[in-house]
Amino acid sequence: MLQDKDTASGWTEPRATAVLVLQDGTVLEGFGIGAVGEATGEVCFNTAMTGYQEILTDPSYAGQIITFTFPHIGNVGTNEEDIESVNAASSSGVRGVVLAASITEPSNWRASRDLDAWLKARQIVGLTGVDTRALTALIRDRGMPNAVIAHDPEGRFDIDALKAKAAALPSMDGQDLVPLVTSGQRFDWDETTWNRGEGYGHQDGSPKHHVVAIDYGVKRNILRLLARAGCKVTVVPATATAEDVLALKPDGVFLSNGPGDPAATGEYAVPVIRKVLDEKIPTFGICLGHQMLSLAVGAKTKKMHQGHHGANHPVKDRTTGKVEITSMNHGFAVDPETLPQNAVETHVSLFDGSNCGISLTDRPAFSVQYHPEASPGPQDSHYLFDRFVQLMDQKKAQV
């Protein structure tokens, strides 16, 4: 840690080695961690107390700087298993991380590396020593700001230049970030969920259904739960055409999570989904996939003030009356006032009443805004994968 000494008083003051400069000119100083250099992005806050490695490898965070409201991040280190991006070796798109407390030594039997070294390896810029409560309050008051995060071990920053860069950054509105995180080619997936003492498993026997998953930034655990549910899973890039998807003769189509403005991604994704729906193939969407399905039937999406990012969001399932504790990560939402008559609102947030799910009355298709695979409940929402399988069972029974 760099220190500046006042020779008159003998007082030693730590020198900032990292800064977060917001688009309005606000400057927050701290101590650098992770990669050295600069990164830009939209600042959001996440209220989860656990799962920071999964959060930092979630492709849906592409283009964003994450502020953790929980102060003790990094205390269980990192490992080679808790990674959500399909390509474990590449960056998931997260631009930076902001923490309150310094990172401590790992204290978990699964840890293979401390968080600071892990951030360096993944080229994620970070800083600690920030009043994350104040930053969170600022975001709640003013919305999610663009910012520049910079780390220099020598503590040398051109603040005026950083302010100008932050002020000139484009809004998340209109940005299609899916190309940054989607797969480059088609591949098969057969890994199932994790068990203590065994690790991740693989499918046994013959899968019951064939699911084509369109990858807008898919998370690994979604694919694992599909495989565990007895589905042969073929993952295709977001650029796959309807002809590409239908040629695989799927029993069901899954629309994955992902980053950015759904309306921008919808320019090429919606026509594909409409053709899948026309064939009445069972369809299930999560997060961005929920927004894609909604856009495909004529609804609109809108930018949220502060978004939903955390693992403690209560959602009511109107079809059962039950309340689920869910994980969420989205900065856009479906406008329920624009849903057509054939789209029923099935789930709502109990925090703000925003739309969290739909089901179509004339097609075997449904979707949710939250992440059932993230297991904060811990398994409150796993039934959604069973619902998807039931739709495929019913479709086959009609043939």
Q: Quick check: is 29 catalytic?
A: no
Residue 200 φ then ψ, to 5°: -80, 145
The token duo for 327 is 């994980």
End-to-end CA distance of the chain: 69
Burial class of residue 95 in the structure, from the number of CB atoms within 10 Å of its CB (0-12 exposed, 13-18 middle, 19+ buried): buried
Q: Quick check: is 13 catalytic?
A: no
Largest alpha-carbon pair distance within the chain? 88
Catalytic pick from 287, 324, 330, 356?
287
Q: Quick check: is 371 catalytic?
A: yes
- What Rg, from alpha-carbon coordinates, does the chain have? 22
Contact 21, 145 (CB under 8 A): no
The token duo for 254 is 């899954």
| Backbone region of residue 40 per phi and psi (left: phi > 0; alpha: psi in -120 to 50; beta: other values) | beta
The token duo for 264 is 């921008």
| Backbone region of residue 299 per phi and psi (left: phi > 0; alpha: psi in -120 to 50; beta: other values) | beta
Cis peptide before 59 (omega within 30 of 0): no
Known binding-site positions: 60, 258, 260, 288, 291, 329, 331-332
CA atoms within 13 A on the CB side of 358: 34
What residues act catalytically?
287, 371, 373
